[in-house]
Amino acid sequence: MSLFDQFLIIAAIICSFSGCAAVSMDRAVEAETVSAVSESEYSDSASQVEGTIYFEYDKYNLSASAVSDIRALANSIKSSSSKVRIEGHCDERGTREYNLALGEKRANAVSELLQVNGVSSSSITTVSYGEEKPVTYGSNESSWTKNRRAVVKVL
Amino acid sequence: MIYRISTLLFLIFSSFLTSELRIEITEGIKDPIRIAIVPIVWNLENPPRKYLHEIISSDLESFGEFESLSPKEMLSLPKTDKELFYRDWKLLDVDYLVLGSASQGEVKGEVVVNFSLFNVTRERLMKRSISTGTTFYLNALAHVISDRIYNEINGLPGIFSTKISYINKNNSSDEKYFLRVADIDGRNDSIIFSSTEPLMSPDWSSDGRRLAYVSFEEGTSRIFIQEIYTGKRKSLKLEKGINSSPNWSPSDRYLAAVLSKGDNPDIYRYDLEKDSWKQLTNHFGIDTEPDWSPDGKKIIFTSNRSGTPQIYEMTISNGKIRRKTFEGTYNARARYTPDGRSFVFVHRRDELFHIAVQSLRTAKLQILTDTRLDESPTISPNGKVIIYATKEKEKDILAGISIDGKTRFTLPTSSGGVREPNWSPLLVSTSN
């Protein structure tokens, strides 16, 4: 199964669960995305309640590995009855206010999938920091990749 | 060029006394207007040590439009019209000449400057004017004189008495964010607000007395309004999600802003008299970065409703929305020019972000900058100059360009990363 097919299936799954308009909109631009999809730097192992999900440039749809990471996060959040805060972040490219909006879309994408996997909405808060809080400085692809993220933190 | 440390005048929250952003022209126009400011004659008991003619010359030169003659190059130093020989100035290719004298006003410390502007080519007096100030506020007095000279020659308001607000953050250990305001020549730089959490999107009120901005001090984005001269601060009613991108209406009664309480970022209008929000756009994509048209009837904004960020314009009275940009896949954060005929925005081409200008009538797009990661353009209140944020060797810096693209400059600073410049409106009347 090609990566593109995987994407469509995952997007379809998410949409069917959440009826999420944002995700379906992403499908329209997916053809453009797919060539770039491959990186899967996930910093936290699935057994933890906290984790970081990475995104493609200018996108807020979830990659296949992000979906499985979030599913694992959901299970540990439920079993530990944790309350979490999801922070959405972007790389420095593009405008700051647009990135603030993009960061929120990323945080919401993670939040929605956590809820689909049984985490109660009352135990999730989201905030977007846009490009204001990079983990690493540097105007290059390696920094940008690390900065395009949603971070799930236990409150 | 040496800048004297100047006493802070207006801003009570100030703590740094050094001059910060200095304008350095990197590319000037080929045929600047040549002007000679003859040293002002001081008829005062204790003349101040600063030289008015130096401040005026440096003002006029600051955006590359003028080249001013140093007194050393002058063939004569006339004190009055009677001592003026146009021949001396024509030999030096001078286009305009300023003569002036300063005397004690009625109140102690008050200075009255009488000055005359001459058109050398036409051998004609253009304007006589009187400006009053104090020796303590000598820079401010000089800027007013520069504004009047500029206005008389170019028919546009001078911008030498304006200010700029910006965000300053050092990418070092302390991670502190500063909202700062400085005179446009870099003097009187002062901290308006500081926080360990991000500060964003400063926007001057149309009366030049307040700044609206976004602060994350409560752990989420929230819009604050702060009076610059008193420090008085209030927050707007907090809504769920994003509260950001404040932009004052020309009347200062409303702020356009972005809220995502409806699950998607949309443009709202905050009524400062009623303390209430009204929704203006409603779309499941991202709507953000509103800017009010100079006549207050329209709002220009960024939306990704077509799949990529593009510029749209809404007529407020009927809610009609029209797409304005069609070139490229990233057009964002538009700001109207003061005449309302064009907008300046961020345009991506070949993966690089540039500042561009587009006419609303002809839709012709022109890229102005050749730097790579440009954003946050702000336009001088006379419409002639743009300052924007960019990167130089991975550091956030401010740079500028004239709207005709002919003059380029940078604003070097010693205080770490600087970004999100916002140009004040005209703060003093230049007509008299």
> What's the gap in Å between the CA of A133 and the closest CA on chain B?
8
CB A97 within 8 A of CB B201: yes
pLDDT for residue B21: 81
In a domain? residue A100: yes
Tens place of pLDDT for every residue, chain A, 155 residues? 455 555 545 544 444 443 333 333 333 333 333 333 333 444 444 457 889 999 999 999 999 999 999 999 999 999 999 999 999 999 999 999 999 999 999 999 999 999 999 999 999 999 999 999 999 988 899 999 999 999 999 98
Tens place of pLDDT for every residue, chain B, 432 residues? 333 333 333 333 333 444 468 888 888 888 999 999 999 988 877 777 778 999 999 999 999 999 999 999 999 999 999 999 999 999 999 999 999 999 988 888 899 999 999 999 999 999 999 999 988 889 999 999 999 999 999 999 999 999 999 999 976 656 899 999 999 999 999 999 999 999 999 999 999 999 999 999 999 999 999 999 999 999 999 999 999 999 999 999 999 999 999 889 999 999 999 999 999 999 999 999 999 999 999 999 999 999 999 999 999 999 999 999 999 999 999 999 999 999 999 999 999 999 999 999 999 999 999 989 999 999 999 999 999 999 988 889 999 999 999 999 999 887 789 999 999 999 986 554
In a domain? residue B23: no
pLDDT for residue A26: 37
In a domain? residue A16: no
Please tell me which of the candidates B198, B220, B333 has its beta carbon nearest to residue A95.
B333
Chosen from A100, A125, A126, A129 to mutate, greatest number of chain B CBs within 10 A = A100
In a domain? residue B8: no
pLDDT for residue B102: 93
pLDDT for residue B28: 83
What is the distance, to the nearest Å, from the Cα of residue B302 to the centroid of all Cα atoms in its chain?
22
Please tell me which of the candidates B258, B263, B391 has its beta carbon nearest to residue A97.
B258
pLDDT for residue B219: 94
Q: What kind and span of H or E run contains B201?
A: strand B199-204
In a domain? residue B132: yes
In a domain? residue B95: yes
In a domain? residue B322: no
Q: How many domains does chain A have?
A: 1
With an 8 Å Cβ cutoff, are B260 and A104 in contact?
Answer: yes
What are φ and ψ of residue A44, in 5° steps?
A: -115, 145
Residue corresponding to tokens 């299970």: A75
Sheet holding A84-89, edge to edge: A51-54, A149-154, A84-89, A124-130
- What is the distance between the alpha carbons of residues B264 and B245, in angstroms, rounded to a whole number? 14
**B171 to chain A: nearest residue by CA?**
A137
CATH code at position A104? 3.30.1330.60
CB B419 within 8 A of CB B170: no
CB B53 within 8 A of CB B61: no
Structure tokens at B349: 């081409």
SS3 label, residue B351: coil
Please tell me which of the candidates B288, B348, B373 has its beta carbon nearest to residue A97.
B288
With an 8 Å Cβ cutoff, are A101 and B288 in contact?
Answer: yes
In a domain? residue B384: no
CB B36 within 8 A of CB B97: yes
**Enclosing domain of residue B112:** 31-154
pLDDT for residue B204: 98
What are φ and ψ of residue B231, in 5° steps?
A: 80, -5
Angle at which helices A3-18 and A64-80 pack, to 10 degrees? 40
pLDDT for residue A47: 54
In a domain? residue B161: no
Closest C-alpha among B404, B410, B408 to residue B390: B410
In a domain? residue A63: yes
Residue B393 zone, left/alpha/beta (φ > 0; ψ -120 to 50; rest): left
Please check whether residue B164 touches A, CB under 8 A. Answer: no
Structure tokens at A125: 């808060």
**Enclosing domain of residue A110:** 39-154
CATH code at position B82? 3.40.50.10070
- What is the distance between the alpha carbons of residues B282 and B46, in angstroms, rounded to a whole number? 64
- What is the distance between the alpha carbons of residues B12 and B393, in angstroms, rounded to a whole number? 34
Q: What kind and span of H or E run contains B386?
A: strand B385-392
In a domain? residue B140: yes
Using a CB-CB cut-off of 8 Å, the residues of chain A touching B221 are: 100, 127-128
Q: Tell me the residue type at B297.
A: K
In a domain? residue A21: no
Q: Give B211's strand partners.
A: B204, B226
- What is the distance between the alpha carbons of residues B403 and B387, in angstroms, rounded to a whole number? 10
pLDDT for residue A42: 46
SS3 label, residue B102: strand
- What is the distance between the alpha carbons of residues B189 and B16, in angstroms, rounded to a whole number? 7
Cβ pairs A/B, distance under 8 A: 89
Using a CB-CB cut-off of 8 Å, the residues of chain A touching B245 are: 97, 100
Residue corresponding to tokens 């561009």: B356
Structure tokens at B80: 């009055």
Q: Which ipTM did the prediction report?
A: 0.90
Structure tokens at A108: 């919401």
In a domain? residue A64: yes
> What's the gap in Å between the CA of A40 and the closest CA on chain B?
23
Please tell me which of the candidates A29, A94, A127 has its beta carbon nearest to residue B330.
A94
With an 8 Å Cβ cutoff, are B307 and A137 in contact?
Answer: no
Using a CB-CB cut-off of 8 Å, the residues of chain B touching A101 are: 242, 258, 260, 265, 286, 288
Roughly how many angstroms between the first and final C-alpha of chain B, as a whole number?
Answer: 32
pLDDT for residue B4: 34
Q: How many domains does chain B have?
A: 1
- What is the distance between the alpha carbons of residues A61 and A22, in angstroms, rounded to a whole number? 8
pLDDT for residue B93: 96
